[in-house]
Each structure stands twice: as C-alpha cells, then as structure tokens.
A and B are shown apart, each in its own frame.
Chain A
Amino acid sequence: MDSKAEFKFGNTSNMEPFWAKEDLVKTIHDKAGIETLTDVIEGFKTGLKREIARNRNVKMAIETCVHCGACLNACPTYIATGDISNSPVGRADLVRNVIKSEKPAGKIFGGLAGARKLDAAYLDKIATYYYQCLECRRCGEICPFGIDQADVTRTVRSVLHDAGKISRYTATVINNAEKTGNNMGLPAPALKATIDFVKDEIKEEKGIDVSFKVDEKARAMFVPPSADFFSNLETLKGYMFFLHSIGMDYTFTTEHAELANFGLFTDTKHLRIIGDHLVSVAKKLGVKVVVAGECGHGWRAFKNYVIPRLKEQGIEGIHIFYLVEEALKTGKIKLNPDNNGDSVYVYQDPCNYARGGDLIEEPRYILQKVVKNYVDSPHSRERTWCCGGGGGVLTDELLPLRVEYAKLWYEDAASVHGDQVIRPCAICKAQLSHTIPKLNKMNSSNLTNSGLMDLVYKALTV
C-alpha cells in the first residue's frame, strides 16, 4: 500500500495523518474520563467556544490578531509549503471563521467577514491542517502581540480529541505512555537490560563501573525520554557516566521511563495524567529531585506542568544540562575536547528549549567545552528552525512533508559548513535520523547528527 501522498507546493490538504480507529479512541477517552461525542459538528463548536473562553492565551490569540502577516515570515510549515492554511494566521482563521459565523458580524456580513459554517468536510480540513503544525512557537516569537499558534493548535487538537478525531500516531503514543509508563511501550525487563548493556559498554570504553539504581529509593530520579533507551544509546551513556562522575545518588524508574509527554501535543487531560504519574513515581521513590534528560517538548511539559506539581510535594525538578554546567564551572568534571575530533559541530536549539524553555545558553556553554569546533546555526537561539518532526508530526505517513520541513535547518547547517548537527532532543534525533539520509542524497553531502550528552560522554575523562 502506498500510504504516502505526494507533496505539492501550495496545497498540502492531501497531507493527512492516519486517524485513530474507534477502539483506540475509546481507550483514550476512557482514560481521560470522557464520553465520545455523538454530534461531532455541534460538539466541536461547543468545545471550541468552551476552550477559547477558558484559556486566556488562546482567547487573546483568537481575538486580537491584526492579520499583519508577520508570522508568515516565521512559520516553517508555511515557508516550506506555501499553503496559507498551513500558516499561523491561516490555521487560526480556519477556526476563527467558524467562531465568526456565530457572531452578529458574521451573521450580517457572512463570507465577507470571513464567517464559515462548520460541516463535516470543513472539520476534516481543520483536523488535517492542525496536524501539520509543528507547535514550534516561531509564530509566537515574531508576533507583535505574542499570539502563539502552537497553543491554539494544542487547544483545537484537544477539542478534536474529544470529538474522536486524534492522529493515530499521537493516540498510540499516549496509550503506550498511559499503559506502560513510556512512549515506546518498553517493558521493565527490556529497560533494565538496556541499562545493563550500556553500563557494560561504559565499562569497556571508559574502564569505569558506573553506579546507578533502578526503581529504588534515591536522592534523585533521572528521567530521560524513552527513545534514549532504544535508539539514542550514546546519549544514555552520557547521562550515566556524567551522573556517576559527579557522585549523584540517582535511580532510573521503569514505571515512568519517559520525559516526553504527548499530552502536550494532543490534549491537556492526557498532559496531566502522564505528568501526574511521573510525580507519583517520584513521590513513591522518595526522591528530592527529578532530573530531566534531553527532550524539547518534554522539557516544556516538565518545566511548565510537572515541576510545579513536584514542588507541591517538596520535590525539585531540574534539567541535566544545569548539572553539567555547574559541574564544569566548579571543576567537578574534566573534559578533553580532543576526544570529539576536528569536526565542525553546529548547534541548533530544539524549539522548546529556545522559545519559552529558557535553555539556550546552558547547552552552548557545555558544547564549547566538549568540542573544539562549535558554530551556531545562522538561525539559532529564538530563531531556530524546528527539526520538522515536532508537535506530533513525526509519523511515517507524513514523511514527505517532514522532508520539506527539514530542508530549512538542513540548509542552515550546510551554510556554515557543519559536519554534525547537535540537537539535544529525542524528537529532533528521530526526525533527523529519518530525513538526513534523504537530504544528504539530494545534496550529495554527509551531514550527521547527535545529542549533546553523547559528546559529553566522549569528552569526559576519569
């Protein structure tokens, strides 16, 4: 079956994700404690109005846009596709126009004012374009009025969620996370086996027996994204070797081996369920601090939902980069940047570290200590391009779209003659591993990528 639609510049209405089937929707809805809507059209409208009225950031986004079009110059999905409905203001207009149709001005002036009646086809259009948004917040950064379409996207997807329209990918991941405590659905024995395997590798490569705990009481609980137990083992080595080197008494948890939180992409109820589970595990293990690994959107959810909840329990939350930075500043660890060779390393900020994540200078401080040649991407810090897989877009059927989105950062890295792109984020890593081979082929180049703790691992000396 050829599942992938062809990419056409100017119209991406064919780039539809697979939708979750009824049984999966039911499982997800049961978990969230809601009934699936019977009248989807009315239910969507009611839900939309309720959520807009409830969330001030969304209400103001819907009501105060001046249609200046500044965000068109910022949005990667618009720049890459040229489809106005795949732009911040255009995406917002899809729902704004439904709202307008219920207001007096919309009733009087109709289409002139932009009013649009909601029907099944239009709802499908909304769903398709809302699942093409990367939730990268570039629009929020450029908009003079701080209108952040990412959170409008999250809200509209949440209303779609309640109406039973969820992308199969995000629904599957959420279901995994709620059932097994991690997105990949990795069972505890598999997690333990990976950790032991990595421990042996470290022993072989560095000659050190690193200490750690699994599901035991400890001072700290370390939570990486679960992809680091699966495909980013070099990053995992970096965490373990570093935490050992600073003498941190920490434990992994197999109950919640996940920093990522796809509830952030799809629905706030799941954001809370997944976040609260992390808090309850931390409480159970009696830790004083939870340390987060490399994951952009995971950091946004952790920083803006989980940490405040942890604090209520007297537990702190922190990113591992803060610990690395401190260890470097106080001389607790020693590094040899020669170990990372002469390659040119290009740092590209994960969206959610840079825009609102307050994690821009720390990784740079670390990077310039662990490699000899580090350069910033021309679009760096708040200007960073999304990897092209953020916001729940990282699914196979959308790969043609993801490749188009990826060209933006790829060209940026190429413009500074980078050999390796550093993006300390699980989604970035997955998206890069899928798109770099294609882009390298198109450009006859051989760019590679890695996380940051991978480089810390190599440079760290005993």
Chain B
Amino acid sequence: MSYILEIIAFVVIPYLALAIFVSGMAYRVSQWLRSRELTGLHTVAVVPYTFTPMDVIKDLFKRVFAFYTLPKMEKDRVLIVGTMMFHYGIWFSLLGHLAMVIPMGISLQLHDIIALYMGGGAGLVAFVGLLILTARRAAQHKMRLISYLDDYFAISILLVLIVLGLTQTFYIRPDFMATVSPWLVSILTFSPEVSSMSQISPVTTAHILVSLIFIAYIPFGKMAHIISSIFQPTITKSSFKVETKESFGAGNKAPQVGNGDGNNGQ
C-alpha cells in the first residue's frame, strides 16, 4: 500500500468515521432531549413500582445485561438464545480489542494466547448468535414482514466484520501488538502514526475499514439502540408515586362536616 493510501485508510477514514459517529450521536441525543413532553402525562413508566433512581438503575442493568424483559411474556427461545450469544460475544470481543490499547502488564505470549482463545471464542459465540438471529429473521414470515433495509444492512455488515475478525484471529494470526496496537493508540491519542501498519494483511485492513464504516453508520439507523434506553422515559423516568400511607381523615366514626379549612383554594 502506498503511503498516501495508508494515510487515507488509517488516518483520514478513521477520523472521519469517528467524527461522524460522535457528531451523529450527539445530534440524535440532542434531538431526543429536545422533545420534552410525555403525551400529556406526568410519567410514562411501564415497569411497576419503579419509584426511586435506584429502582431505575437496577431495571436498566437487568435490561442491558440479562435481557430480562424478553422472557416476561410468551417466550421466543430462539430470540433469547440468539440475542444473548450475539451480545455477550460482542462485548467480550470488544473487551479483547481494548487490551490492544490498555497496557495489561502481561507477556506477549500470554497476550497472544488470550487473544486466540478468549477473543476467538467470544467472536465465535457472537458469530453463532448472529447466525441464529439472521436465520430467525429470514425464516419466519412475520419477521420478514417487519424487516427493512436497515435491518439487513446491519446484519450484513456485522457478519462481514465478524468473519474478517475470526479469519485474522484463527488463520492469519498477525502480531497485533506490534502492528495494529501502536497505530490504534496513536489514533486515540491524536498523534496518528501509520508506520506499523505497512506490513498488515489485507484481511486486517478490510476488518479495520469495515469496522470504521460500521462506526460511522451507528448514528443513522437502528444501531443507535446502544444508548437509547438511557433516554427512554418509559424506562428511566421513575413512576409517579401516589401518597398511600395517610388515612386522610378515615377513622373518625362520627363523620365531620367538611369545612374547607383554608386549604381548598376557595
């Protein structure tokens, strides 16, 4: 790859993708925050008895990490298994990627083994999960009826991304720590340096470029769901609590005559 191409692929495109991602997400969130009403109601919480911020935080965690709402009604096991495998697979893979930029204080050899078995394993789990979800979408008539370009695009790009990732981890096995890692650190510290990337394989380059396209695409479609729950008032605005403990004058066996004792706005 010529130096110019390297600069485009590993400096221009990454910063462009990041800029689109950050400004796109910022725009979407600002649009969500701009709409202030709740269809005329004080609160629109759905989950009962979520009164305190703690209740809300607990609910949010259960949602994100346990997918606890999915088995609540009539169960769709394929969806539950597929979604669990896919998301946990992705999260662990992402953690693995993080190890490229955060010094772990372990030997390169150990690093390599962890990347191979844990990273590769997580990638495989994500891959199988995504295949399950894709098959579900393609095979069920009702799912095809609610699937559009956005859904197929997201699935396709993720499949390509994961396949490229797995190919590297299992077959190519490049020395990430000597090649991709320094470059990634340089990008994230805003001092881009592409020299370590001259030897990487086309598969790695493709994996990087596809992930950058994916990152840039996140703000535009359904992928924005990675943060939307936090802003969704049915989840994070706690329920209006009705005062229940006062007896409001109950218990006086002799009924009082209402006297509008100054507290009635008359």
Chain A residues proximal to chain B, CB less than 8 Å: 52-60, 63-70, 72-74, 79, 84, 87, 89-90, 93, 105, 109, 112-114, 137-138, 140-148, 151, 154-155, 211, 213, 216-220, 246-249, 251, 268, 271-272, 283-289, 291, 300, 303-305, 307-308, 313-319, 322-323, 326-327, 330, 332, 354-360, 381-383
Q: A286-B258, A313-B265, A356-B239 are in contact. List 17 more A-B contacts (CB 8 A).
A: A53-B35, A64-B224, A64-B228, A67-B146, A114-B149, A141-B72, A144-B63, A146-B232, A151-B38, A219-B248, A247-B250, A247-B252, A289-B249, A307-B42, A327-B250, A356-B47, A383-B73
Write out the residue numbers on chain A whose beta carbons fall within 8 Å of the beta carbon of B35.
52-56, 58-59
Question: What is the interface of chain B, defined by CB distance below 8 A to chain A?
Answer: 28, 31-49, 51, 63, 67, 69-70, 72-76, 79, 83, 140, 142-143, 145-151, 220, 222, 224-225, 228-229, 231-235, 239-260, 263-266
The answer to whether B255 touches A64, judged by C-beta atoms less than 8 angstroms apart, is: no
Task: Decide if B248 touches A318 in the complex (CB within 8 Å).
Answer: yes
Asked whether B44 lies within 8 Å of A304 as measured between CB atoms, the reply is yes
Q: How far is the CB of B204 from chain A (nearest CB, A)?
A: 29
Chain A residues with CB under 8 Å of B249's CB are 219-220, 248-249, 288-289
A211: chain B residues at CB < 8 Å are: 255
Q: Is the CB of B251 within 8 A of A305?
A: no
Q: Tell me the nearest residue of chain B to A327, going by C-beta.
A: B250
Taking the closest CB of chain B, its distance from the CB of A321, in whole angstroms, is 9
Quick check: A354 and B79 within 8 Å, CB to CB?
no
In the complex, A4 Cα to B14 Cα: how many Å?
61
3 smallest beta-carbon distances between A and B, as pairs:
A286-B260, A268-B40, A286-B264
Q: Which residues of B contact A285 (CB under 8 A)?
A: 258, 264
Report the minimum CB–CB distance from A113 to chain B (whole Å). 5
Q: How far is the CA of A217 from the CA of B265 in the complex (A)?
A: 13
Q: Are B72 and A383 in contact (CB under 8 A)?
A: yes
22 pairs, CB–CB < 8 Å, chain A vs chain B: A59-B35, A60-B228, A66-B222, A70-B69, A73-B73, A73-B76, A93-B146, A105-B149, A105-B220, A113-B150, A146-B235, A151-B44, A268-B39, A283-B265, A287-B258, A287-B264, A304-B41, A326-B247, A326-B250, A358-B239, A382-B72, A383-B73
Q: Which of B31, B44, B140, B265 contacts A57 (CB 8 A)?
A: B44
Kindly state the separation between the CA atoms of A383 and B72 in the bound complex, as whole angstroms.
Answer: 7
| Residue among B28, B147, B263 facing the most chain A CB atoms (10 A cut-off) | B263
- What residues of chain A lie closer than 8 Å to B51, measured between beta carbons? 358
Chain A proximity of B14: nearest CB distance (Å): 24
Specify which of A109, A286, A323, A360 is in contact with B48 (CB 8 Å cutoff): A360
Tell whether, in the assembled complex, residue A308 and residue B240 are in contact, meaning their CB atoms are under 8 Å apart.
yes
Is A286's CB under 8 angstroms from B233's CB? no
A142 touches B241 (CB 8 A): no
Known contacts being A56-B231, A216-B258, A358-B49, is A68 close to B83, with CB within 8 Å? yes
**Which residues of B lie under 8 Å from residue A151 when comparing CB positions?**
38-39, 44, 234
- Cβ of B146: which chain A residues have Cβ within 8 Å of it? 67, 69, 72, 84, 87, 89-90, 93
Instruction: Flag if B69 contacts A144 (CB, 8 Å).
Output: yes
Would A140 and B234 be within 8 Å (CB), given that A67-B222, A316-B246 are in contact?
A: yes
Give the docked Cα–Cα distance between A220 and B39 (Å).
29
Q: A145 contacts B255, CB within 8 Å?
A: no
Cβ-defined contact, B264 with A288, below 8 A: yes
Assess whether A141 is in contact with B73, with CB atoms less than 8 Å apart: yes
CA distance A326 to B243 in the complex (A): 12
Residues on the A chain within 8 Å of B250, using CB: 246-248, 323, 326-327, 332
Return the chain B residue nearest A68 by Cβ. B79
Residue of B nearest to A220 (CB): B248
Q: Is the CB of A140 within 8 A of B251?
A: no
- Known interface pairs A54-B35, A69-B146, A73-B73; A317-B242 also in contact (CB < 8 Å): yes
Q: In the complex, which residues of chain A have a beta carbon less than 8 angstroms from the beta carbon of B248?
A: 219-220, 248, 288-289, 291, 316, 318, 323
| Most chain A CB inside 10 Å of its own CB: which residue of B83, B140, B242 | B242
Contact between B149 and A248, CB atoms less than 8 A apart: no
Q: Which of B31, B145, B222, B229 counts the most A-chain CB atoms under 10 A from its CB?
A: B145
CB distance from B163 to the nearest CB of A (A): 22
Q: Residue among A52, A247, A317 with the most chain B CB within 10 A?
A: A247
Q: Closest CB of chain B to A322's CB: distance in Å?
A: 4
Shortest distance from the beta carbon of A253 to any chain B beta carbon, whole Å: 13
Q: Are B75 and A73 interface neighbours, CB within 8 A? A: yes
Say whether A249 contacts B258, CB under 8 Å.
yes
> Closest CB-CB distance, A125 to chain B, in whole Å?
15
In the complex, the answer to whether A271 meets B40 with C-beta atoms within 8 Å is yes
Complex: A17 Cα to B259 Cα, angstroms:
48
Q: A105 — which chain B residues lie within 8 A by C-beta?
A: 149-150, 220
Do A356 and B44 touch (CB < 8 A)? Answer: yes
- Docked pose: A89 CA to B229 CA in angstroms: 17
Cross-interface CB contact of B142 among A69, A138, A246, cutoff 8 Å: A69
B46: nearest chain-A partner, CB-CB: A140
Tell me the nearest residue of chain B to A313, going by C-beta.
B265
Q: Are A137 and B46 CB-contacts (below 8 A) given A66-B225, A79-B74, A247-B250?
A: yes
Q: Does the CB pair B72–A67 fall under 8 Å?
A: no
How many angstroms from the CA of A50 to the CA of B216 in the assembled complex?
28
Knowing A64-B232, A249-B252, A249-B257, the reply to whether A74 touches B74 (Cβ < 8 A) is: yes
Shortest beta-carbon distance, A91 to chain B, in Å? 11
Nearest residue (CB) in A for B147 is A67
Name which residue of chain A comes closest to B51, CB basis.
A358
Chain B residues contacting A289 (CB-CB under 8 Å) are: 248-249
Q: Which of B42, B140, B259 contacts A304 (CB 8 A)?
A: B42
Q: Are A354 and B263 in contact (CB under 8 A)?
A: no
B32: chain A residues within 8 A (beta carbon): 56, 59-60, 63
Contact B44 A148 (CB under 8 A): yes
State A434–B240 Cα separation when bound (angstroms): 34
Which residues does chain B contribute within 8 Å of A357, judged by CB atoms?
Answer: 48
Chain A residue nearest to B148 (CB atoms) is A114
Instruction: Specify which of A67, A247, A322 is in contact with B254 (CB 8 Å cutoff).
Output: A247
A residues in contact with B255, CB < 8 Å: 211, 247-249
Contacts of B251 in A (CB 8 A): 246-247, 330, 332
Q: How far is the CB of B221 from the nearest CB of chain A, in Å?
A: 8
Q: Using A73-B76, A323-B250, A355-B48 as known contacts, say yes or no to A145 and B149 having CB atoms under 8 A apart.
A: no
